[in-house]
Amino acid sequence: MEKFLERIGRGILLVDTQGRVRFANPFLVERDLLTPDWEGRVYYEAIRNLDLIKVVHDTFAEERPQDLTFKHREDWYRAVSLKEGEVFVEVSPLSEEMRAKERNKEFLANVTHEIRTPLTVVRGVLETIYEEEEDPRRREMILRAIKRVENLIGVVESMYMLISLEKSAAKTIRPIDLREVFEEVVGDLSQEIRAKGIKVHLQIPEGIKVNADPEKFYLMVKNIVDNAVKYNVEGGEVFLRFYEKEGRKVVEVEDTGEGIENSQIPLIFEPFFRGSGEGGLGIGLAISKRIAEFHGARIEVESEVGRGSIFRIVF
C-alpha cells in the first residue's frame, strides 16, 4: 500500500483530530506543498500553501467535504477533502486543458476586478458633480451617466460572480428565511416595479427556511424577479410562491409577461444569450443556474408566448 501511495501521481494527506499530520505521501513534499519534516506537526505549520491550509481548516470547521482548485508555484491543483473524524485530503494536478481554463478564469477575474475600481471612482466623481450642479437639464444628464456607470458596475460584478462561482470556493451555508429574502428583493426593485405599474403578490408564508449561502441566494432570486418585472407588460403581475412537492421545496416566480419560445428555453441559461427587447448582458440566468447548482437545486421554466412564464427553483 505504502509503495503504491509513493508512486501515484497525486498527493494524499491525513490530518488527525488534533490537527496533526499523520500521513503524507512523497508527492506533496516533492511539489513543495508540505515541509519534509511534516510528521506529527500541526497542519498549518506543515502545509506550505494557504489554499491547502484553508481546505483542511474548512473541513474541520464546517464538517463538510471541500473541493478547491488552487495554484502553487507555477502549477495548478485540485484538492478534495473528506472528514471521518480525521481529515483526508487528495491533491491532484490539473490536466493541461483544465490548467488553460483556470488561467482564463484567473485572467477574467483580474480584468473584471481592475475595471471595477476605476468605475467606482467615476461614479463617485459624477455623484459629487451632480450634487453641485444646479441646472436641471445638466442634472438630468449627469443622472443618466450615473445610471450607465451603475449598470456597468453591475455587469462587472456579475461577471466576477460567474467566474468565482466556477472556482467552487468554500461555502457559507446557513438557514435563511425565504420570505425575508423576497421582501428584500422586492424592496430593492421597487423603483422598476413602480415605474412599470407591476403588482407583486408575495405569497410566501413567514418562517420558511432554506439552507443557502445568503449572498448568492439573494442574487439568484433577484435575477429571476428582476426578469419577471423587466419582461412583463405594463401593469402586469408577478406572483411569488412557495410550496412542497414530492418532498422537495419549490420556490416559484410567475409573471404575466411576453413569455419565451419553447425552443429558446434551454438557451436562456447560456452566458451572454439575450432575447429581443431591452435587457442586460444576458448573464443573469447563467449565474442563477450556477447558484442553483451550487445549492444542489435546479431551475425549471414553463412559459407560454404572450401569456407569461414561471421560473421554479426546486431544492
Instruction: Give the binding site for ligand ADP (CB under 6 A).
Output: 223, 227-228, 231, 255, 257-258, 260, 268, 273-275, 279-286, 309
Grid cell, residue 283, equals 448573464
Which is closer to ligand ADP, CB of 109 or CB of 310? 310
The H helix count followed by the E strand count for the chain is 10, 12
**CB-nearer residue toward ligand ADP: 99 or 274:** 274
Query: Which of 34, 268 has the CB closer to ligand ADP?
Result: 268
> Is 232:196 a contact under the CB 8 Å cutoff?
yes
Shortest reach from residue 245's CB to ligand ADP, in Å: 21
Q: How far is the CB of 225 from ligand ADP (least distance, A)?
A: 9
User: Distance between alpha carbon 266 and the CA centroid of its chain, in Å?
Assistant: 20
Minimum Å gap between C-beta 301 and ligand ADP is 8
- As a whole number of angstroms, the distance between CA 156 and CA 146 comes to 15
Closer to ligand ADP by Cβ: residue 13 or 291? 291
What's the min distance (Å) between Cβ of 216 and ligand ADP? 16
> Which residue's Cβ has the minimum distance to ligand ADP?
275
Read out DSSP for 157-201?
A: HHHHHHHHHHTT-----EEEEHHHHHHHHHHHTHHHHHHTTPEEE
Q: How far is the CB of 285 from ligand ADP (least distance, A)?
A: 3
By beta-carbon proximity to ligand ADP, the closer residue of 214 and 275 is: 275
Q: CB-wise, 296 or 306, nearer to ligand ADP?
A: 306
Burial of 315 by CB count in 10 Å (0-12 exposed, 13-18 middle, 19+ buried)?
A: middle
- In angstroms, the CA 159 to CA 138 distance is 32
E strands, 4-132, in order: 11-15, 21-24, 67-72, 75-84, 86-93
The nearest distance, CB 215 to ligand ADP, in angstroms, is 18
DSSP 204: P
